[in-house]
Each structure stands twice: as structure tokens, then as C-alpha cells.
């Protein structure tokens, strides 16, 4: 390579670094620096939403979006529900001696079976190891996995128009075998066992395979039912009658014993204060603030634009292509 080419490469590298620097500066300029630098040592910050005078404290945690662990290290993951962060916030609220009560604001159609179980188990652990009440305030939707994690709460409060319930398990896949045949597409599959490609979209499902998967779904559904039996003190027959997959409005859920009260988030705070002698408590909302990974992610998305969006779309397609059991309300 001659000197002119080296010079051209050098100039291109400098221009690239300058462009990245401009994008980074733009992201920094639009960032909320109070959030950037106000996080506590554990990575979370507390925003006061109600000033208290009694020395008591109630922590509010938001659970928004599909309950799914998509990882936290990807530059594409700059917003939305972060499963590991939520678990850490829940653990922190349980361990913080200054916190006297926990309210989880649930607004989700549900999500993964494993992720929902992890949240449920962490809530039960807090209840068993501390005297802190755990209340749930339901938002627009608290269905399927959203109800699963709500079931052990000491009190569940919903709006009369909240969509909840959807008690059940679902597994889905797309079968494109006939479409592939129409266009002359063949699939070559080499597998170690007859069920290795179960739920493959390239061929019809056999009766044996359907029986295997139905057994799995029935087992997971039984666990869902037991969570409600234990959490709500309801008998199994009633739960199974109510748990046929349908959704209920908040008013219907109250009539069927699936929730305890109708009300808003503010009502839920007032109920906790009254029920547990926490009057005039300080109410704080947990948050993760604005971390450096988010900043890098925003910068990368600003710089690479549609290429980053395409990569994100490909990642979502890969995830959705893998069949999995879900506690999910799908419309």
C-alpha cells in the first residue's frame, strides 16, 4: 500500500472519529445530567413522589412491558422492560431497612414463564423474610404473567377498566410448510432424535408431538393455578373455572375474587398507609436513571440509523422464531 492510500485511510479514520464524537456530544447534550449523576452506588435512584413527615417510607416499582429477559448488554436494549434490573430493584426494596412497604405498579400483558416465576418467587421471599407489605396496583393491563406475579401480593388494586386474568399458558409457532411447497422450497433437516425439530415450521406437527407439548402446557398451567390458590386463598376448582384463558375487567375481577379493591395508584398508596400505620409516609419511585450503556446505545443508533434498527429487527425475529411457553395475553 502506497503513501497516498495510507493518508486516505488516515483521513477517513479521523473523520469517522469526529463523526462519532459529534454524535456522542449530541447524545450528552440531550441527556438529563441530573439522572446521569444522581444514581446511588447500587445503580438505582429514588425519586420522591410524595414528601412524608412520619419517617416512614413506601417504595414504588414500575413493571411496564412484556416480562421477558432480553439481556442488558446489547447496545440495542436502550429502553423498555429490563428483567435483571427489575429483580435487583425488588431485592433492594426488600433489603432496605428504611423501606416499610412496597407497591408494584403492574402494566403488562405477561411474558415468559421463567421470568414471571422469578418475580413471583422474589416477592414471596420478601414477604416471608420481612414484615413489609407488598401491594400491587394494576394499570391498563395486568394479564396472564401480569396476574401471575400479582397473585401473592397482600392486596391487589385495579381500575374498573383494567384488563386482567388471562390465566393460562400458550405456545405458538408458524407453520409455513404449504407456502414453501407452493414455491418449491425444500428443507434439509439432520437431527439426532425424532423430536429434535418439534414445532418446526417447515412441516406439520404430528399427534405425538402435540401430545408432548400439551403435557408441558398442562403442567405449567397447573403451576399457575397453584400460585393463585396459594396467593389468593382460593380453591383449585374455582381457579380452574376462572382460568380458562379469558380476560376480565377490573370490576369483573373484583366480583370473582381475583382482586381486592378498585382504585388508582394514589388509592393504593392511601390503602397501604391506612392498613399498616404508614400515614404521612414518604413515597419514592425506584428507577435506573440514565446509564452509560444507554448513552452508548443511543449514540450508536443515532450514528448507524437504519442499520441498527435492521439489526434489532433481526434479533427480534430470531427470538420469536424459537417456540417457548408463555404466560402471555395475546390479542
The residues carrying an active-site annotation are: 144, 196
If phi > 0 it is left, if psi is from -120 to 50 it is alpha, else beta; for residue 75 that is alpha
Contacts within 8 Å (CB) and 24+ apart, 200-207: 200/173, 201/173, 201/174, 201/175, 201/176, 201/177, 201/321, 202/176, 202/177, 203/175, 203/177, 204/175, 204/177, 205/175
Distance (Å, whole) CA 108 – CA 115:
13
**Pairing of β 163-165 and β 134-143:** parallel
Alpha helices in the chain, H assignment, sequence order: 3-30, 33-37, 83-95, 113-129, 145-150, 177-182, 207-232, 236-242, 250-255, 265-275, 292-304, 306-321
Distance (Å, whole) CA 28 – CA 299:
9
Taken in order 193, 198, 200, 203, the sign of the CA dihedral is positive
Distance (Å, whole) CA 12 – CA 76:
26
Distance (Å, whole) CA 82 – CA 79:
8
44 in Cβ contact with 289 (< 8 Å): yes
Residue 62: strand pairing partners = 105
19 in Cβ contact with 27 (< 8 Å): no
Distance (Å, whole) CA 18 – CA 183:
49
Amino acid at each position: 500500500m502506497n503513501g497516498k492510500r495510507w493518508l486516505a485511510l488516515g483521513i477517513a479514520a479521523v473523520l469517522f472519529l469526529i463523526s462519532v464524537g459529534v454524535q456522542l456530544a449530541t447524545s450528552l447534550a440531550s441527556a438529563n445530567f441530573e439522572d446521569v449523576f444522581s444514581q446511588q452506588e447500587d445503580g438505582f435512584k429514588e425519586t420522591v413522589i410524595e414528601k412524608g413527615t412520619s419517617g416512614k417510607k413506601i417504595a414504588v416499582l414500575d413493571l411496564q412491558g412484556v416480562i421477558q429477559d432480553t439481556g442488558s448488554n446489547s447496545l440495542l436494549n436502550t429502553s423498555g422492560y429490563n428483567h435483571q434490573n427489575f429483580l435487583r430493584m425488588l431485592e433492594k426494596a426488600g433489603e432496605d431497612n428504611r423501606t416499610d412497604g412496597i407497591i408494584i405498579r403492574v402494566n403488562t400483558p405477561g411474558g415468559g414463564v421463567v421470568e414471571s416465576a422469578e418475580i413471583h418467587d422474589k416477592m414471596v421471599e420478601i414477604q416471608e423474610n420481612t414484615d413489609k407489605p407488598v401491594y400491587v396496583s394494576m394499570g391498563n393491563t395486568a394479564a396472564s404473567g401480569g396476574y401471575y406475579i400479582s397473585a401473592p401480593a397482600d392486596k391487589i388494586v385495579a381500575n374498573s377498566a383494567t384488563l386482567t386474568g388471562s390465566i393460562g399458558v400458550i405456545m405458538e409457532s408458524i407453520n409455513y410448510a404449504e407456502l414453501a411447497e407452493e414455491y418449491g422450497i425444500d428443507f434439509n433437516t439432520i437431527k439426532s432424535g425424532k423430536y429434535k425439530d418439534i414445532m418446526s415450521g417447515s412441516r406439520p406437527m404430528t399427534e405425538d408431538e402435540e401430545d408432548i407439548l400439551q403435557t408441558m402446557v398442562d403442567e405449567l398451567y397447573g403451576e399457575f393455578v397453584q400460585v393463585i390458590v396459594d396467593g389468593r386463598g382460593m380453591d383449585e376448582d374455582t381457579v380452574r373455572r376462572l382460568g380458562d384463558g379469558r380476560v376480565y375487567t377490573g370490576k369483573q375481577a373484583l366480583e370473582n375474587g381475583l382482586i381486592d379493591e378498585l382504585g388508582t395508584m394514589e388509592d393504593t398508596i392511601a390503602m397501604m398507609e391506612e392498613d399498616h400505620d404508614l400515614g404521612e409516609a414518604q413515597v419514592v419511585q425506584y428507577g435506573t436513571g440514565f446509564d452509560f450503556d444507554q448513552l452508548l446505545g443511543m449514540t450508536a443508533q443515532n450514528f448507524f440509523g437504519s442499520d441498527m434498527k435492521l439489526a434489532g429487527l433481526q434479533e427480534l425475529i430470531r427470538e420469536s422464531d424459537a417456540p417457548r411457553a408463555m404466560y402471555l395475553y395475546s390479542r
